[in-house]
Amino acid sequence: AQTVTQSQPEMSVQEAETVTLSCTYDTSESDYYLFWYKQPPSRQMILVIRQEAYKQQNATENRFSVNFQKAAKSFSLKISDSQLGDAAMYFCAFMEFGNEKLTFGTGTRLTIIP
Amino acid sequence: DGGITQSPKYLFRKEGQNVTLSCEQNLNHDAMYWYRQDPGQGLRLIYYSQIVNDFQKGDIAEGYSVSREKKESFPLTVTSAQKNPTAFYLCASSSYRAGTEAFFGQGTRLTVV
């Protein structure tokens, strides 16, 4: 069974600085997808970024980028120029190719310090 | 507007009663999911369905049941067998092509009184 581990329950960063959230996963599959979701206080889940395992290039979405290390089964999220609106719970998630089961980690609560 | 709708937003249940949470989507997505979120914890998968009339147990299916009679609807019943049902429940859907982002409803907060 796939597992997703987020080892940082809480993180904080100064506004305008950069922060990296960690995620590791365990799978025996070679084809899969990885996601980072954001859950603000409203509790609405929002997709931040997605990475296909077959792509070597790291995904980037504006201030958000990932460091995908397939061999190490690591998928970290980097947030640059942190903004107050980035404060939220961040969840790492895994989906196996051909199987729609979507598994989440336990989340990292990110606080932005003004 | 396309989206996924959960109702009700808040639900109270007496111990020993079954209760059904509604989830409807008009995104034409094949896959649908139910997750449970406890305070300060992640999302744990209860059930998911990849196609009408078929569904699979997730990691914490005991005490829950689902049906998928229509593509648009995936109701979750919390039965009296669920010993600790107070939680926040999230429904999601995604397209059948693996890897497409999952869209989430706004959740239902269930409280046992």
Do residues B43 and B35 make contact, with C-beta atoms less than 8 angstroms apart? yes
DSSP character at residue A81:
S
Using a 10 angstrom Cβ sphere, with 0-12 exposed, 13-18 middle and 19 or more buried, the burial of residue A109 is middle
Digit-coded pLDDT (tens) for A38-53: 999 999 999 999 999 9
User: Chain B: nearest CA to A76, how far in angstroms?
Assistant: 17
Residue of A nearest to B97 (CA): A98
Amino acid in position A77: L
pLDDT mean across residues, chain B: 92
Residue A96: the pLDDT is 85
CA distance A91 to B41: 10
Average pLDDT over residues A77-100: 93
Are the beta carbons of B35 and A104 separated by less than 8 Å?
A: yes
- Residue A16 has φ and ψ, to the nearest 5°, of 80, -5
Digit-coded pLDDT (tens) for B70-110: 999 999 999 988 889 999 999 999 986 656 789 999 999 99
Digit-coded pLDDT (tens) for B1-34: 679 999 999 999 998 899 999 999 999 899 999 9
